[in-house]
Amino acid sequence: MSDRKRRTYGLVIGLAFGIPYSIISQFINVWTLPGVPLYDLPIGRTATVILTSLFMGLMGLIVAWDEESFWGLFGGAILAVGAGSLLAFINSGESQVATSFFLSLFTFLPRLIFYLPLGIFFRWLVGIFDTSGRAPSSGLMRLLKVTFSILIVVVIGGRFSQMSPEARKALQDMNSLTLEGMAAVAKGEEVPSPLIPVDGFTTYANGAYTLEWSSDVDSLPVTRPIVGYGITESLVIVRFENDYQFGCAFTPPSPAPKCINITRVR
């Protein structure tokens, strides 16, 4: 196979993998939680899909650039790690740039090792189209083999971005609680009991909002029930468009979350 042909296959394979993978990984939680306004990182889901697809296409090109596979695999993995770090910097915000930098630095080698199998997968797919030195097979069969291989890896990989059942339940409960509280304020009634300790809710909790899930429950300064073995706790942060924020800690099987204001109420 000529260099030009091999590189073209690498670019196309990278794009063919990157587009569906990035769409699934970015939108799977949106699809499984209809009606729940999930928090979106500053760069946005659509922009992330576009950038991830382009980076995957470039990674496929680099992996297939040289006939000797080692440097292509190494270069592709370096690019993937760099692209991930760049997106992390963009999404981190000014206050978290230093943290994001050191985190990227300390996780560089593990992430490099993580991306090597993807480069090997791309190289294997390119090899399917290379019929030199072996009996040629049907072009359609080779295309189907590559297509199904990509789809299988994309679906499996994309599903790793799906939130756990406990996280989805916490987000749904938080959305219902927030809507119930806003409706009570609008009617002049008392807010639900979990929202009573939340300073400023009756004044500032209005307009559009988003919900962000986190496992870092200990960062919320509230007293929670003792956690049983194997129980997954959830922290859900509610962000309103007027910059008002509060967080709630969910500790199953307790039905009532522990909530507190996490912004300065003026």
Domain ranges in the chain are: 3-159, 165-261
Question: 91 and 42 in contact (C-beta within 8 Å)?
Answer: yes
Residues 6+ away with beta carbon under 8 Å from 17: 56, 60, 122, 150, 153, 154
Question: 7 and 122 in contact (C-beta within 8 Å)?
Answer: no
Report whether pLDDT(175) > 60.
yes
- Return the pLDDT at 230: 77
Measured between alpha carbons, how far is residue 183 from residues 13, 175, 178, 189, 252 in Å? 50, 12, 9, 8, 26
- Return the pLDDT at 152: 92
Backbone angles phi, psi at 154, to 5 degrees: -60, -45
Residue 246's pLDDT band (cuts 50, 70, 90): very high
Q: What is the pLDDT of residues 67-97, one digit of tens each?
A: 776 667 777 777 777 776 666 665 554 445 5
Measured between alpha carbons, how far is residue 46 from residues 42, 43, 187 in Å? 11, 8, 37
Q: In this structure, are strands 258-261 and 245-250 parallel, antiparallel, or unpaired? A: antiparallel
Residue 266's pLDDT band (cuts 50, 70, 90): very low
- Return the pLDDT at 255: 80
**What would the two tokens of residue 112 be?**
């490099």
Question: 211 and 219 in contact (C-beta within 8 Å)?
Answer: no
The percentage of the chain sitting over the pLDDT mark of 70, rounded to a whole number, equals 84
